[in-house]
């Protein structure tokens, strides 16, 4: 409570005078050191992590939050706080998502029924990032079924101690191709290609399990590779299965899988 300069009565000062996008114009700096309590952000960590590789937002943010974030960055750059001309290296604008019927989209209902991982993986599979896509319940159901199959395969048992070398060589070849393809797809911001490739590898694993010709060691390595490649797509399931298959927390701190599943 303060005093009004005009009428000299008691008044409450309004501090909410800036656009909310201005207030969040430096969050990416804060993200580099969330545990720091006595400074806005740690300079060494901001120098290490920034500029960010990519800014992903709708096109209208170019004249909103992105504008303010760039202004804030350039202002503190001129003060010698940060280095570099821009806070973000690349801009990606996702396309719109709509239902087939044109009705309102309530993804929270899908999350409650199928889980966040199924919804996330489904949205990633829609198509090129910039184009968006048309969504439907059947697509989420199909994706949920795929993740259930991954769960079943990861926890499968009953494999022979020693497998057939030809069958294991075929599985190793499939794993190498899958790792290379998914790596290229994710680097190229083509998540739909990564999802489809991983689904094909899941089918290949199902065939290998049914054949009974793959030994336990090779199978464990193949499942390990599957989970590591699944982690960016279905992070919760990947983490859960990672621990259930005997690995220590966390899958998200592991290096990307080697193309050679036997390594």
Query: Residues 62, 179: one domain?
Result: no
Residue 249 lies in a domain: yes
Query: Residues 102, 78: one domain?
Result: no
Report yes or no: 172 and 214 within 8 Å, Cβ to Cβ: no
Question: In 3D, which of 224, 209, 229 has the Cα closest to residue 167?
Answer: 209
Residue 162 lies in a domain: yes
Residue 263 lies in a domain: no
Residue 51 lies in a domain: yes
Residue 8 lies in a domain: no
- To the nearest 5 percent, what fractions of the chain are helix, strand and coil? 55, 10, 40
Residue 6 lies in a domain: no
Query: Residues 237, 110: one domain?
Result: yes
Query: Residues 114, 243: one domain?
Result: yes
Q: What are 56-98's pLDDT values in tens digits?
A: 888 887 778 899 999 999 999 999 999 999 999 998 888 888 8
Which residues have C-beta within 8 Å of that of residue 142, sequence separation ≥ 6?
Answer: 122
List Cα–Cα distances, 126 to 42, 72, 139, 155, 188, in angstroms: 38, 35, 9, 28, 16
Query: Residues 119, 188: one domain?
Result: yes
Residue after which a domain boundary falls, among 74, 91, 108? 91
Report yes or no: 178 and 229 within 8 Å, Cβ to Cβ: yes
Q: What is the pLDDT of residue 63?
A: 77
- CATH code: domain of residue 202: 1.10.730.10
Residue after which a domain boundary falls, among 42, 69, 91? 91
Report yes or no: 200 and 182 within 8 Å, Cβ to Cβ: no
Neighbours of 52 (CB within 10 A): 17
Residue 55 lies in a domain: yes
Residue after which a domain boundary falls, among 62, 91, 120? 91
Q: How far apart are CA 73 and CA 231, in angstroms?
A: 32
Instruction: Band the pLDDT of 260: cuts 50, 70, 90.
Output: low
Residue 101 has pLDDT above 60, yes or no: yes
Q: What is the pLDDT of residue 247?
A: 95
Residue 259 lies in a domain: no
Query: Residues 108, 197: one domain?
Result: yes
Query: Residues 170, 220: one domain?
Result: yes
Radius of gyration of the chain (CA): 24
Q: What is the pLDDT of residue 261?
A: 55
Least confident of 4-8, 50-54, 212-216: 4-8
Report yes or no: 69 and 75 within 8 Å, Cβ to Cβ: no
pTM, entire model: 0.79
Range of the domain at 39: 15-91
Neighbours of 68 (CB within 10 A): 20
């Amino acid at each position: 409570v303060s005093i009004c300069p005009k009428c000299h009565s008691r008044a409450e000062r309004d501090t909410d005078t800036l656009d909310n996008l201005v207030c969040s114009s430096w969050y990416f700096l804060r993200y580099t050191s969330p545990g720091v309590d006595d400074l806005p952000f740690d300079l060494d960590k901001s120098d290490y992590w920034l500029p960010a590789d990519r800014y992903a937002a709708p096109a209208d943010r170019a004249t909103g939050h992105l504008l303010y974030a760039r202004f804030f960055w350039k202002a503190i750059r001129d003060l010698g706080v940060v280095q570099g001309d821009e806070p973000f290296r690349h801009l990606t604008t996702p396309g719109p998502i709509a239902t087939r019927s044109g009705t309102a989209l309530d993804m929270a209902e899908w999350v409650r029924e199928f889980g966040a991982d199924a919804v996330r993986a489904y949205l990633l599979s829609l198509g090129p990032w910039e184009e968006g896509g048309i969504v439907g319940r059947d697509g989420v159901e199909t994706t949920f079924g795929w993740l259930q199959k991954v769960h079943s395969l990861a926890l499968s048992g009953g494999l022979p101690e020693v497998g057939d070398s030809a069958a294991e060589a075929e599985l190793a070849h499939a794993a190498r191709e899958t790792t290379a393809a998914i790596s290229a797809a994710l680097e190229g911001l083509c998540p739909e290609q990564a999802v489809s490739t991983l689904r094909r590898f899941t089918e290949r694993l199902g065939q290998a399990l049914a054949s009974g010709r793959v030994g336990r060691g090779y199978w464990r390595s193949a499942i390990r590779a599957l989970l590591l490649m699944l982690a960016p797509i279905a992070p919760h399931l990947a983490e859960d299965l990672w621990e259930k298959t005997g690995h220590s927390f966390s899958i998200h701190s592991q290096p990307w899988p080697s193309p050679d599943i036997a390594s």
